[in-house]
Chains A and B, each alone.
Chain A
Amino acid sequence: GEQVEQLPSILRVQEGSSASINCSYEDSASNYFPWYKQEPGENPKLIIDIRSNMERKQIQELIVLLDKKAKRFSLHITDTQPGDSAMYFCAASAGATGGNNKLTFGQGTVLSVIP
């Protein structure tokens, strides 16, 4: 099955700087790549996603890049704020073309934004 590797596991950045989280996947059939943010004691919340027909997507301070050739995708948070501190998960899915709609998750990144 699909494997997703996420790095780094811990990330500390200064407020106002950028934070980058990288993920790689193995299954070339994967075509959907969501990112989730999870705050302590809460559920994971979908914050941005990208499909394989795109290379870049931006929602406010969140930017997702997808390199299908290298099987890598990344989340970039610009102008980080203390409210961005949380656990972040990447995931990949082959969707309907893969015969199911399962998501395979990375191990997560704990982001701390230092005021």
Chain B
Amino acid sequence: EAAVTQSPRNKVAVTGGKVTLSCNQTNNHNNMYWYRQDTGHGLRLIHYSYGAGSTEKGDIPDGYKASRPSQENFSLILELATPSQTSVYFCASGPQDTQYFGPGTRLLVL
């Protein structure tokens, strides 16, 4: 299975603060994705990317930005964090439609 890493693994942020979640993959996958997972909502797509320099809006992009500076790295940015963004965030990567998930980041916004 492809290796995807995320950092940090846990994060506590204050309301109104800026939060950056990082994702790295060394499998040379073109596609990378950011999801959040909340009880009762399953996995919801926030942003995704087809390659370095590209970002696309997913199903719930409001309040989030994404950056893909290289093939390996894909970041999720919360410019002004809110308590409603408390969640578990998963990054995934893959060739074409297959996706492999990272270990997740638990974010708590106080």
Contact = CB atoms under 8 A, between A and B. Distances in A.
Interface size classification for chain A: 20 to 34
Contacts of A93: 97
A14 interface: no
A96 B48 contact: no
Interface residues of B, number: 23
Most buried by B among A1, A49, A96, A105: A105
Interface in B85-110: 90, 94, 96-104
Interface in A7-64: 32, 34, 36, 42-46, 49
B96 A101 contact: yes
Interface of B: 1, 31, 33, 41-43, 45, 48, 50, 56, 58-59, 90, 94, 96-104
28 contacts: A34-B99, A36-B101, A43-B103, A43-B104, A44-B43, A44-B90, A44-B101, A45-B101, A46-B98, A46-B99, A46-B100, A49-B98, A89-B43, A95-B96, A95-B97, A96-B96, A100-B48, A100-B56, A101-B96, A102-B33, A102-B45, A102-B48, A102-B58, A105-B42, A105-B43, A107-B41, A107-B42, A108-B42
